[in-house]
Structure 1
């Protein structure tokens, strides 16, 4: 029987798993990435962990037919990482070559957001569809596009960066350094920034009471919780979020026209209080044909999306 290793390389922690061809995780482990110790050190510890997991499962290492990695950065030809986000590593490192030399096992890699999208497309919320776009609404916004069995990575590995499409001309400053990005409005960071701005001048609301007046404590979840309690101030913030989310998703629909949109990340966990008004507002921005039979669903793989998607590179 053939097996695969999936690796989700993170800034602090790296998740590693052994999976079967169907994408079932047989055993997994989390190790510290320790990127400051260098790329070779990290890859050697990843390989050591893969060997240990295989031994614990009583799997001959020769039966591991592929190693897939999700990488925080743009990836060229499933091989070369143009640069690593928040890693002190060199640019244009051929990770495929390094790991294959170390392990003797075929290796493929892609951007971590693309890998999550691939996981949801092949094993998760969009399984069975020919086209899907996954949008991860967290501290920032990650995205991945899956069309006819393949990820759309682009010429320089930046395909699927939906968080940085512009939805407001010369709008709010984004963490990428540009202005008006989808991420600057719809991410948890963007929503909190808008909420803090409003709370500075309006303290007569449930949300302000919930955080005891400490704006540094505010989280996106607090806004949705207060909105569920009927707080008009927080409901206005949810409406703000739904409006920009509808605009961004509609732009994606007009360009890609996918069968399924998968929403993941902490903001998507708000559920119907956000997603229902978003759906209502999308009719203003999306071409009607793109909404026909469209499914908008929440991601189901959670923390397993990275290692499952990495193995999806082989299947």
Structure 2
């Protein structure tokens, strides 16, 4: 049996796992990333943890582990070089693959974390059996993964799939990237909460205000109260569905995927959001792009990054 390592490198925590060629997870472990200790030291420590875990699983790393894949928050060039880091104090243009290869003596492949998650969903999750997949992670921001004919579209500078920064309003709301009018400034959980706060400032006669009085609002609060029939919250869900459909329709007209897999916290809203998105997409997408299109929730949860990274390591 051949085995593949999957690493999901996060700003706070890193998940490390070993997967066999059939997609069965042998082990997973979560450790603190501690990126402040520096690029080389962090990679060395994570490599040691990986080797110890594999040894503890009675698998011969040298003989039986055939590849290593890593998902990172940031754009990646040629499955090796991280152009810049989100939430890491590390230098730009870092050869992450090369640094891990020094310690592991195996081929290492690196890609953006949402790209990797989308690969995982194609291999073992909600998009099994499909080769043209759009993955969306709608949470604090909006990330994307684009798979065409079974291959990731990463682009010349690793920016392929940065769908959260398509523009949905001219001179619109300020986005965390520094530009105005980005999709994620409206349709992310952050954007939805920002809109809710604005409306709550002038309307306090609703269930949502009662629910969150004295604490910070979360996107889940909006969806929960909407499911109870609160008109104020239902209008916020309509706002969210409108902007998700607008951005998604633009992407459909460019990519024409077979399936869209939606993950992240906003996807947990379920039918109350997905039904509205499906209805509103008719305004924004060419009819041919909606034929036989499936829009589904991501299935793999916390294992998506590890499975996707392992599959990246397996790909020729």
Into which bin does the TM-score normalised by the smaller protein fall? over 0.9
Deviation at 1:70, TM superposition (A): 0.3
Deviation at 1:97, TM superposition (A): 1.3
| Other-structure match for 1:175 | 176
1:205, 1:120 → 2: CA distance? 38
| Other-structure match for 1:297 | 296
Structure 2 residues without counterparts, runs of 5 or longer: none
Q: Is the 8 A contact 2:18 2:310 kept in 1?
A: no
Q: Secondary structure of 2:274's match? A: helix
Relative to the length of structure 1, the TM-score reads 0.98
1:95-126 C-alpha deviation (Å, 9 max, x unpaired): 11111122111100001111111111111110
Q: Does 1:31 align with 2:34?
A: no
Task: Count how many residue pairs are aligned between Structure 1 and Structure 2.
Answer: 313
2:98, 2:199 → 1: CA distance? 51
**Runs of 4+ more than 2 Å apart:** none
| Other-structure match for 1:281 | 280
2:16, 2:292 → 1: CA distance? 37
1:22, 1:40 → 2: CA distance? 32
Deviation at 1:23, TM superposition (A): 2.0
1:15-42 C-alpha deviation (Å, 9 max, x unpaired): 0001101222110101110000011111
Q: Is the 8 A contact 2:81 2:96 kept in 1?
A: yes
Q: Secondary structure of 2:15's match? A: strand
Deviation at 1:217, TM superposition (A): 1.6
1:62-121 C-alpha deviation (Å, 9 max, x unpaired): 111111100111100001111111111111111111111221111000011111111111
2:253, 2:103 → 1: CA distance? 44
Deviation at 1:295, TM superposition (A): 0.4
1:97, 1:224 → 2: CA distance? 44
2:98, 2:196 → 1: CA distance? 47
| Other-structure match for 1:235 | 234
1:206, 1:93 → 2: CA distance? 49
Q: Does 1:271 align with 2:267?
A: no
Relative to the length of structure 2, the TM-score reads 0.97
Deviation at 1:138, TM superposition (A): 0.5
2:55, 2:104 → 1: CA distance? 15
1:95-106 pair list within 5 angstroms = 95-106=96-107
| Other-structure match for 1:162 | 163
| Other-structure match for 1:120 | 121
2:263, 2:283 → 1: CA distance? 23
| Other-structure match for 1:226 | 225
1:308, 1:76 → 2: CA distance? 21
Deviation at 1:207, TM superposition (A): 0.4
1:106, 1:26 → 2: CA distance? 20
| Other-structure match for 1:261 | 260
Deviation at 1:219, TM superposition (A): 0.4
2:24, 2:111 → 1: CA distance? 20
1:258, 1:151 → 2: CA distance? 13
1:80-159 pair list within 5 angstroms = 80-159=81-160
Structure 1 residues without counterparts, runs of 5 or longer: none
2:256, 2:159 → 1: CA distance? 19
Root-mean-square deviation over aligned CA pairs: 0.8
